[in-house]
Chain A
Amino acid sequence: MAKIVAGIAVSHVPAIGVAMDRGMTGTPYWEPLFKGYGPAREWLAKLAPDVAIIVYNDHASAFSLEIIPTFLIGVADKFPIADEGFGPRPVPLVHGHPALAWHLAQSLILDEFDMTIANEMPVDHGLTVPLSITCGQPAAWPFPVIPICVNVVQYPPPTGARCYKLGMAIRRAVETFEQNLRVVIYGTGGMSHQLQGERAGLINRQFDTAFLDGMTKDPVALTKITHTEYMREAGSEGIEMVMWHVMRGALDQNVAEVYRHYHVPASNTAAGLMILENRSAA
């Protein structure tokens, strides 16, 4: 039986990818952020999961406004790196896990989550920056990845509560896959940031800290945060944090926080990282 063993929540700021791709991680601006990623990389290398499910949003790369899937799962064996307007990032191709991905797609739909299924799609910084942050710069990514996209570009995104329930359904689906696989799940995006309008640059450390604390203390209470509250308190793009609930819903009720890193600024964003382990996983 496959099993979800841990969850990673991590921001996916494009500038973090650029800093890595251009060898700028040691500069005074970036060094404090990247220093905090070291322990997460060590933890993940030691965990050595068989597969990662990465919950992220596409940013007008694979999908445009032509068709806007609210929840989508990638079932391909390979996902090329997207050109987001400045050429593709120089990072390895992402390999999928079609057997588990198709199993998830079927299980989720029969469990009343109406997933869109993608046989072909490029992946953008929303997926590759979390891989870079947690794996560094290897010649090939250390595990296959199942991308799950959540729309947060066209309002409204799915609610936090719905995302949490999707996470619970992902867990049920993983646990009915017959192969023994240790699966890690990423929830990406956030934390507080606003990229648009006269209010651009908004950061709310107090909100972010309460959100990070709530991930272990009372995740269900966090799922009740409304979209307007996210946007008012954490910035219009802070609403990406709904994706963290998918990850959290896929874990045990009781989890241990094994690592946390929070840094302002990464470009316009409060960059957060948190690692949660299922208590039963030990």
Chain B
Amino acid sequence: MAQDRDYESIPGTYVYDAERGRIGYALNMFCMSLNKADNRQSFKQDPAAYLDRFRLTPEQRRAVLERDWLGMLKVGGNIYYTIKIAFCDGLTFQDVAGMMSGVPKETYAQMMLAGGRSPDGNRFKDPQEPESGHG
């Protein structure tokens, strides 16, 4: 069956597939632990010490401590998991989406109010690929 990762041609997108699942497990399981109020408290009190409980790579650890949202995705973070760190910080999905796309919060919010990011010009990393609309 199709396992050629053809979705890797989509720009600005990190599909949580087998490749990322293999490297991201510990990072995402740390995020999962934040579903418990006690753990959220411990993480907030001493982030570095709390992270010692999990076997993160140095790069994963750095990304978490620096709240590098895009960086987390690049080292195996899954957005449904890493968002729990944002909730811990009192941020919303939209706050984090703005930061990942590299624009100020207000600019991102305005883009959404105006109908969102257009798929046109955003379907392929390679601009030579044909833009095939649907429907």
- Let me know if B10 and A154 touch, CB within 8 A: no
Give a binary string over B35-76; 1 marks a CB under 8 Å from any A CB, 0 the rest: 111001000000000000000000000000000001001000
- Let me know if A59 and B80 touch, CB within 8 A: yes
Please indicate the chain A residues that have their CB under 8 angstroms from the CB of B21 in the complex: 65, 154
Q: Can you offer 6 A-B residue contacts whose CB atoms are under 8 A?
A: A196-B13, A202-B122, A204-B119, A206-B135, A210-B134, A226-B2
Tell yes or no: B23 within 8 A of A by CB: no
- Let me know if A205 and B100 touch, CB within 8 A: no
User: 4 additional contacts, CB 8 Å, given A65-B78, A155-B18, A200-B117?
Assistant: A155-B15, A197-B73, A202-B117, A231-B15
Write the residues of chain A forming the contact surface with B, with a CB cutoff of 8 angstroms: 14-15, 59-61, 64-66, 82-87, 153-156, 192, 194-207, 209-211, 226-229, 231-233, 236-237, 264-265, 267-268, 270
- Let me know if B100 and A197 touch, CB within 8 A: yes
Please indicate the chain B residues that have their CB under 8 angstroms from the CB of A84 in the complex: 35, 84, 87
User: A87 CA to B94 CA in the complex, in Å?
Assistant: 19
A203: contacting residue among B10, B115, B124, CB under 8 A: B115
- Let me know if B112 and A268 touch, CB within 8 A: yes
- Let me know if B35 and A268 touch, CB within 8 A: no
Q: Which residue of B lies closest to A239 (CB)?
A: B15
Please indicate the chain B residues that have their CB under 8 angstroms from the CB of A86 in the complex: 87
- Closest CB in chain A relative to B101 CB, distance in Å: 5
Q: A85-B40, A232-B10 are in contact. Are A265 and B35 (CB under 8 A)?
A: no
Q: Which residue of B lies closest to A159 (CB)?
A: B1
- Let me know if B37 and A199 touch, CB within 8 A: no
- Let me know if B100 and A198 touch, CB within 8 A: yes
Q: A83-B36, A155-B17 are in contact. Are A207 and B135 (CB under 8 A)?
A: yes
Q: Which residue of B lies closest to A229 (CB)?
A: B134
User: A232 CA to B9 CA in the complex, in Å?
Assistant: 9
Please indicate the chain B residues that have their CB under 8 angstroms from the CB of A227 in the complex: 7
B134: contacting residue among A65, A207, A267, CB under 8 A: A207
Q: A85-B40, A209-B135, A232-B7 are in contact. Are A194 and B13 (CB under 8 A)?
A: yes
Interface residues on B, range: 35 or more
A265: contacting residue among B31, B101, B116, B124, CB under 8 A: B116
A200: contacting residue among B40, B100, B113, CB under 8 A: B100
B101: contacting residue among A192, A201, A264, CB under 8 A: A201
Q: Which residue of A lies closest to B17 (CB)?
A: A155
- Let me know if B13 and A265 touch, CB within 8 A: no
Q: A85-B34, A232-B123, A268-B94 are in contact. Are A197 and B13 (CB under 8 A)?
A: yes
- Let me know if B92 and A267 touch, CB within 8 A: yes
User: A270 CA to B134 CA in the complex, in Å?
Assistant: 16
Q: Which residue of A lies closest to B79 (CB)?
A: A196
Q: Which residue of B lies closest to A208 (CB)?
A: B135
User: A203 CA to B119 CA in the complex, in Å?
Assistant: 7
Q: Which residue of B lies closest to A236 (CB)?
A: B13
A199: contacting residue among B18, B84, B122, CB under 8 A: B122
- Let me know if A60 and B97 touch, CB within 8 A: no
Q: A60-B80, A196-B79 are in contact. Are A228 and B115 (CB under 8 A)?
A: no
- Let me know if B117 and A201 touch, CB within 8 A: yes
User: A162 CA to B58 CA in the complex, in Å?
Assistant: 40
- Let me know if A85 and B101 touch, CB within 8 A: no
- Let me know if B25 and A268 touch, CB within 8 A: no
- Let me know if A205 and B115 touch, CB within 8 A: yes
User: A199 CA to B37 CA in the complex, in Å?
Assistant: 32
User: A10 CA to B47 CA in the complex, in Å?
Assistant: 38
- Let me know if B102 and A85 touch, CB within 8 A: no
Please indicate the chain A residues that have their CB under 8 angstroms from the CB of B92 in the complex: 15, 267
- Closest CB in chain A relative to B121 CB, distance in Å: 11
Please indicate the chain B residues that have their CB under 8 angstroms from the CB of A265 in the complex: 112-113, 115-116
User: A246 CA to B105 CA in the complex, in Å?
Assistant: 36
Q: A200-B97, A204-B119 are in contact. Are A231 and B80 (CB under 8 A)?
A: no
Please indicate the chain A residues that have their CB under 8 angstroms from the CB of B13 in the complex: 194, 196-197, 199, 231, 236
